Amino acid sequence: MGKIVVTGTAGFIGSCLAHHLFRNVSTSLVLVDDFSKSEKSNNLIGLENCTQIDRSEFLGQLMDLDIDFIFHLGARTDTTEFDVSIFDQLNLNYSKTIWHYCAEHNVPLIYASSAATYGDGTLGFDDDLSTMDQLKPLNPYGQSKLDFDLWAKAQNNKPPFWIGLKFFNVFGPNEYHKTRMASVVFHAYHQINATGKMKLFQSHNPEYTDGGQTRDFIYVKDLIAVMLFWYDQKTGSGIYNLGTGVPRTFNDLANATFKAMGLQPNIEYIPTPEDIRDKYQYYTKAEMARTLHQGYGKGFTSLEDAINDYVKFYLQQDAYF
């Protein structure tokens, strides 16, 4: 039996997926990442018996591996990085090489795109491929993801089955290393733990109350469930959103975090910094109709239940997935 490759396995989503596959799928795993970063090492505890290949060496070893499937989740994800060459190398060209390998060797591929491709959201959040070339991301990270989506869509030589997934606001265990790039739930828990209160941005849009700004938050366990749905199905190739389809407010998130911690809500509203005020998103929502049409029917964990699980079984115990 061939191997399943997971790139980005030292990171947040990649490590959760790798652990799930290790526990539930009877096949060999090949884990790919930059394993030199000690702050991510705890994400890999329990996966020591899997084959590990450094990101810089993986492409050169592709031909020597007996691969059945690739989950390509590895990428530079820092939205504050503005060196385009880094994204060209790690997000665009690296992904193209994996795509070509999958196409030439008949290997199915699932790769991570991003909701950052939608930019400020003025064009909506519909994963209709026919309008994808009109999108305008706000940073080089989002642009690199859109560039690869558009490149993949234009290819005549494709893997036998391929899926690009536009991840929305993902949260859950194994994001300890992400520091300032970690989820709002992660920061809410630690801020409340340290100060007893949660600071949220005021609204500078009359259509939204303070803390009423919304996001499509998705628990990493639901994200994995959808990826495994596509892994099992292997039909319906294309690019799809991956959120819950239900936008929730930051007030909802804060209140759920206080409740999971057994505390009364104590929210302070502070001005949104002026340098990001004109780019600030007030609403995101993954349009999920195309995924549901393909047959995904498990539903999604509510924000309250997901935060309760994350806080009680991971954050409060410093536990990993």
User: What are residue 32's phi and psi, to 5 degrees?
Assistant: -125, 130
Cα distances (Å, whole numbers) of residue 13 to 131, 162, 185 = 28, 19, 15
| Annotated catalytic residue, options 178, 197, 199, 312 | 178
- Helices 140-154, 94-105: inter-axial angle, 10-degree rounding: 20
CA distance 167 to 239: 11
Q: Could you tell me where the beta strands, DSSP code E, fall in the chain? A: 3-7, 29-33, 51-54, 67-72, 109-114, 162-167, 169-171, 198-201, 214-215, 217-219, 238-242, 248-249, 267-270
On whether the CB atoms of residues 287 and 247 are closer than 8 A, the answer is no
On whether the CB atoms of residues 108 and 164 are closer than 8 A, the answer is no
3-state helix, strand, coil in the chain (%, to 5): 45, 15, 40
CA distance 311 to 289: 30
CA distance 72 to 97: 11
314 tagged catalytic: no
| Annotated catalytic residue, options 94, 101, 118, 141 | 141
3-state secondary structure of 195: helix
136 tagged catalytic: no
* Cα angle for residues 261, 263, 266 (degrees, 5° grid): 120
What residues are annotated to the active site?
141, 178
